[in-house]
Amino acid sequence: MQSADQLASKQLVLLGIGHTNAHIVRQWRMNPISDVQLTCLSDHTVATYSGMLPAVLAGQLSEQDMQIDLVRLCASAGARLITEQVTGIDPEAKRIEFATRPPISFDVLSVGVGSVPSVQGVEIDSTAPLLKIKPMQSFLQRLNEHVSRLQQIATDSTVRIVIAGSGVAGTEVAFCLPGWLKRNSIEQFDIRIVTGSQRVLNGVTSSLRRRVERALTDRAVTISLNERINHVEPEHVQSLSGAVYEADLVIWATGASPPPLLSQLGLPTDDRGFLLTDETLQSTAAGGVFAVGDSGTVNGTCLPKAGVYAVRQGPALWENIQRSIDCRALKPWVPQSSFMKLLNTGADSAIGEWKGLSFEGSWVLRLKDHIDRRFMRMYQTEGMAQSGHVMQCRGCGCKIAGDILDDALSELTSKPETPPLDDAALIETGAGTVVASTDFFSAPLNDLYLTGRIAALHSASDIVASGANVSAALANVVAPEGDPRAQGEGIRDLLAGAQLEFEAMGGRIAGGHTIVGARWEIGFAVIGTPVGRAVVEKGNLKPGDHLVLTKPLGVGVLLAAHMRSQCAAGHFETMIESMLHRQHRCAGVAAELGITAGTDVTGFGLIGHLNEMLEASGVSAALNLSQIPLLPGAAETFQAGIESTLAPANRRLESLADVGEGIRRQPAWQALFDPQTCGGLLLGIADDRLEEARAAFETA
């Protein structure tokens, strides 16, 4: 197998990480295919196991219990995760197109984007309180957005809820939604299932149906059969027969229909719009392209769109992916002839069916819970196995330690004629003053387009901190050895991402160089022009100034956690959002307010860069740890014993601080030494301009 940073010659792409494709990531984590790069494309950073949603609604499980953390799963598998919107594929060129980033190539592609509830022939008022059950990743968030409105209704009347659809999804929601309502202090409610079917739960035995209908009646759920909804209005729904049902909330859980994306892929579909495959799960018209789960229909079959089939397709898909990469004959997938059906009734009980025999009771719920939890455990990541070797952090965590750098530069700066060295250099030219700086790092993420964006903002940080506007940049890119196609696409992605950010800052990439090296590295020499007359410098702090930090701390420790597959999806998202927050307008704000003392907080952490300001200004400072902002998840990660590999070197300044031992154990104290990639600005602001400055920087 090639080294970790050698570029693979083949690309396996999973579009959508549902039940089937998640199995591929799991297998990859245990046994990756040599000379193949795995890329996962998803609209969300978590995948939801739909079978556990009823238990979450009922209050039997937490929301986290039904989620597969794709950030951690992909990190543990060494896979690239991209969460940009896909707009189509080119089957001939084998490329996937995106709305906002360059395309990516694939040799083998598996499409598993699921299905959505059908709204064909339904007129929906834009102000109607309609809640579609999919995408399930956001269902609870969207449901919670209705809480305050429903609570207000419940103060003096009954909340009326209509569930469209009488399949397993709609029926289980009807059973379990009361638990959610009661937890939100909504005690008076009426739940009605409205369906165009002649009965609830088509395709099950009459024995199971009778048990379900009896349980629904016991829970006062009304069932309206043969009433297909064709209008959804702000306060009611209407069926084809003209029947009107008042509704304060409409939950749409009708039969499966294809997501709009499937019609944009240029691949053959069945009469409903799902991708058509042969018995090997491969597209009938495109070699190396598979369609799985609800997204695909095996030609000549009429299987229902059920998650159990998606789960069982996983091993067959894994086998055929390997065969496709090796150019071997594919094997057919044989669907199971029957499967167990288990429905959560939301009252410490469940109803089930197996081979024509129906049953119910608390033991059935325990069985369902056992099966669901066993499935989810396969996709949980407790982090990569720890070894005696500490992985070198990337991003700003791969910087040389400050004391080593000081020693290396001391001889250069010891000569009287040598001007002081700084992060950004002021250069006087015939046309005026130019501010120049350079910065680079090893790529901290597998997504090189995202890495390029981060690298541009990080490299421009010293220019912005000097109170200057970005004019131009020269790129330096190191590409690993390996496949030439992968090298070219990687360089393109890095520079395309960087160009997006430089253009947003008013600059451009004017040139650069590339070489081959051990791993992906990127940096820029950046040129800028001062905004105001006075340049912002480290040595301009004055006694009485307030210190203002424009971004929270914690990037370094969260990136370190991500390398260990221990950074949760939500924490990863907020970290990326913070790094991508542009600060170039801060230069103009500083000029307007007359701010002349400042720096950026990057590799040496807040304490290191603050110390540079204090030494240059001849002052000292007092910090209130309770006022130090931290990124979500940073405190917990520090407490778990994780830190950036640069943090110990940054703590060389710890002896300069006058603090007690108890304070040194606090996460906020540890954050002072955390290296920041795309960190905030640290500014000294006079007391009479503080509030004005805070307001200005919040909107900059």
For the annotated catalytic residues, the residue numbers are: 396
Closest to 41 in 3D by CA, of 107, 114, 96: 96
Encoded amino acid at 275, one letter: L
DSSP secondary structure of 441-467: EE--SS-HHHHHHHHHHHHTHHHHHTT
Question: How far is 652 from 551, CA to CA, in rounded Å?
Answer: 24
Torsions phi, psi of 143, nearest 5? -65, -40
Joined together, the tokens standing for residue 579 give 């790094």
Place of tokens 């907080």: 601
State the virtual CA torsion across 291, 296, 299, 303 in degrees, nearest 10. 140
Phi-psi region of 603 (alpha: psi -120 to 50; beta: other; left: phi over 0): alpha
Question: How far is 87 from 71, CA to CA, in rounded Å?
Answer: 22
Q: 91 preceded by cis ω (within 30°)?
A: no
DSSP state of 18: S
Joined together, the tokens standing for residue 243 give 């029947």
DSSP state of 473: E
644 close to 675: Cβ distance less than 8 angstroms = yes
Place of tokens 């597969």: 68
C-beta atoms surrounding 300 within 10 Å: 8
Could you tell me the end-to-end alpha-carbon distance of the chain, in angstroms, rounded to an integer?
48
- Strand 80-82 and strand 468-480: the pairing is unpaired
- Strand 67-69 and strand 46-48: the pairing is antiparallel
Place of tokens 């070699």: 287
64 close to 102: Cβ distance less than 8 angstroms = no
DSSP secondary structure of 287-346: TTEEE-GGGEEETT------HHHHHHHHHHHHHHHHHHHTT---------S---EEEE-S
C-beta atoms surrounding 380 within 10 Å: 12
Question: How far is 679 from 461, CA to CA, in rounded Å?
Answer: 8
Residues 6 or more apart whose CB falls under 8 angstroms from that of 581 comprise: 551, 678
Encoded amino acid at 579, one letter: M
